[in-house]
Structure formats: structure tokens, C-alpha cells
Amino acid sequence: MDTKKCDFRSVGVLVRENKILVQREKNGNEYALPGGNVQFGETSENALVRRYKAEIGADILCDRLIWVEELFWKWKNESAHGINFYYLISLKNDSDIADEPFDSCEDNHDVSFEWVAIEEIGNLVIYPNFIKEKIKNISGNIEHFINYCE
């Protein structure tokens, strides 16, 4: 039986000293940008503020929306459709996030965070893949991407 799933996620693009904050499973080698699902009745900006506080312990400002991604993929027997909003963000207090790799603040969470030099991002397995190029020169306009994954 083929079922359907729709996911709405808000994602933060945090750059400091020519490095970008990324996340991965503690024993994994695939990276992504931090963020989380938007709850019903919640704005995408408020969701991102909530997720950064819960997972990282940091207070952020959503400076501006930079990318919108529509993503289509299969997950087990489900057809999935994701809508992702990517915000350029800043920290209210720069010392809220350590320079060294650190684990999520949430209990029972198998996620770690680290800063990666922008010039090294192309060497990572990172999702979505467009980040490898777009992070080097973020447009002044909102860019829209449609991705189909096998």
C-alpha cells in the first residue's frame, strides 16, 4: 500500500568566520543544516527559533528567507513531499554556540553539531546538495529549488 506524507521544515543557515554550522548523526557521515518541522499554527520563523533553542541552546534572529525547496522522495512505502524554508540567521549572543563540535541539548538525541569551513563544504555528503554551491554566494533574492530524490 502506497501512502503519502507531507513535511514542512524550517532550516537555519548560520555562518560565522567563513564557517557554516552543520549537523549529523553522531556516528553518521551525512550532513544537513540545523532546523526542524513546523508545527500546525506556527510560523516558519518561530519554528526555527524554537528548534535552535531546544537543540542547540541558542537564541537566534531570522534575518531573511534565502531559499525555498520542494523535495519529492520515497520513504519506505510512502511517497513524501517536503517543503523547506531556509533562513539566513544570526545569533543574539555569539558565545551561545561553541567553536568545537557539540551534541544536541535535547535528551535522547543522537545528533552532533560542528562548524565546517565553507571552502570544505564541497567535500561533504550534505543535503540538500545545492548548498555546496549556493553557500559560496548567497543571492539577495529568494531562490526556489525543486528536487526529486530516488
pLDDT tens per residue, range 29-44 = 999 999 999 999 999 9
> What pLDDT, on the 0 to 100 scale, is given for residue 108?
60
Across the strands, what pairs with 147?
Answer: 71
In tens, the pLDDT along 41-98 reads 999 999 999 999 999 999 999 999 999 999 998 878 888 899 999 999 999 998 889 8
Q: Are 128 and 144 in contact (CB under 8 A)?
A: no
- Cα 35 to Cα 1, 116, 137, distances in angstroms: 31, 17, 21
Euclidean distance between CA atoms 50 and 60, whole angstroms: 9
SS3 14: strand
Euclidean distance between CA atoms 13 and 85, whole angstroms: 10
- The gap between the terminal CA atoms of the chain, to the nearest Å, is 18
H/E element, 44: helix 44-55
In tens, the pLDDT along 98-127 reads 899 998 887 667 899 999 999 999 999 999
- Grid cell of 112 as nine digits: 552532533
Residue 113 has what DSSP assignment? E
| Segments forming the whole domain that contains residue 23 | 3-92+99-148
Total domains present in the chain: 1
**What CATH number corresponds to the domain at position 87?**
3.90.79.10
Confidence grade of residue 1 (pLDDT, cut at 50, 70, 90): low
State pTM to two decimals: 0.92
Euclidean distance between CA atoms 80 and 69, whole angstroms: 13
